[in-house]
Amino acid sequence: MKRKTIVAAMVIFCLVAGTAAGVGWYAGRAIAPADVSKKASSTAETRTDSAIADDAQNGESAGTETVSVSVFFTDNQFSLLHAENKTVPKTTSAKAAIEELIKGPADAGHIRTIPSGMTIQSVSIEGDLARASFGPTFASLYPQGSAGEMMFIYSVVDTLTGIPGIERVQLLVDGQASSRYGNLDLAQPIQRDESLIAQ
C-alpha cells in the first residue's frame, strides 16, 4: 500500500514539474518575437536617421551651385589684361567677380588693377547692362597714370562682360552715375574691349 502511495506521489510530482517546465519554455518562446521586433525597429530608426543626414548634406551641396568666371588683372607694364579663372556662387556671380578683382591676383606675375581700399557695393543687371556701384572711395583712389586708369576700368568691364548676357557696363559711385574717372569718360555705358586682353 505504501509502495503504491509513493509511486502515485512520484507520478504526480513528475506531472507538475513537467507542466511548470512547459509553461516556462512557452513563456520564453513568446518573448522572442518581441525582442526581434524591437531590434528590427531600432535598426530601421538608425537607417532613417542616416538617410535624413545624407539628404540634409546633399541639400546643402545642391544649394551652393558655382560657376567659373574670368577675372582680369594687368602686368607690370600696365599694357594688357591677363585672365585668372575664379569659382564664384552662381546666384551672385557678377558682384562676386568684382570682389575677386578687389582681392587681387593669385599669379605672382599679375598686378592688381583696383586700388587698395576700394569697395564694391552692388552689381545690378538690367537686360544686357550691368551697373557696378563702387563705394565713395572710387572718386579719390586712382591707379598709377592714365594706363593704370585704363586697366582698372577695363578690368571691371571685361570681367563683367565675360558673364553670359552682359554686353555693357556702367560704373557708379555710391549708387550715382559718375561722369569721369581721371582722364576717362564714364558718362555712357562701356563695352568690352578684346584688344586689351592678352592672347
From 35, 63, 91, give the residue that closes a domain.
63
CA-CA distance, 54 to 52, in Å (whole number)? 5
Please indicate, yes or no, whether the overall pTM of this predicted structure exceeds 0.85. no
Q: What DSSP assignment string belongs to 60-124?
A: HHHT--EEEEEEEEE-TTS--EEEEEEEEEGGGHHHHHHHHHHH--SSTT-B--SPTT--EEEEE
Q: Are residues 96 and 155 in the same domain?
A: yes
Q: pLDDT of 13-49, one tens digit each?
A: 444 444 444 434 334 433 333 443 433 333 333 333 3
CA-CA distance, 69 to 35, in Å (whole number)? 59
Q: Are residues 112 and 45 in the same domain?
A: no
Q: Are residues 44 and 103 in the same domain?
A: no
Total domains in the chain come to: 2
Q: Are residues 89 and 150 in the same domain?
A: yes
Q: pLDDT of 82-141, one tens digit each?
A: 999 999 999 999 999 999 999 999 999 999 999 889 999 999 999 999 999 999 988 788
- Residues spanned by the domain of 178: 66-196
From 15, 40, 63, give the residue that closes a domain.
63
pLDDT band at 63 (very low <50, low <70, confident <90, very high): low
Over pLDDT 70: what percentage of the chain? 68
Q: How far is CA 107 from CA 75, 84, 86, 95, 113, in A?
A: 10, 8, 12, 21, 13
Q: Are residues 99 and 163 in the same domain?
A: yes
CA-CA distance, 173 to 187, in Å (whole number)? 12
From 44, 63, 82, give the residue that closes a domain.
63
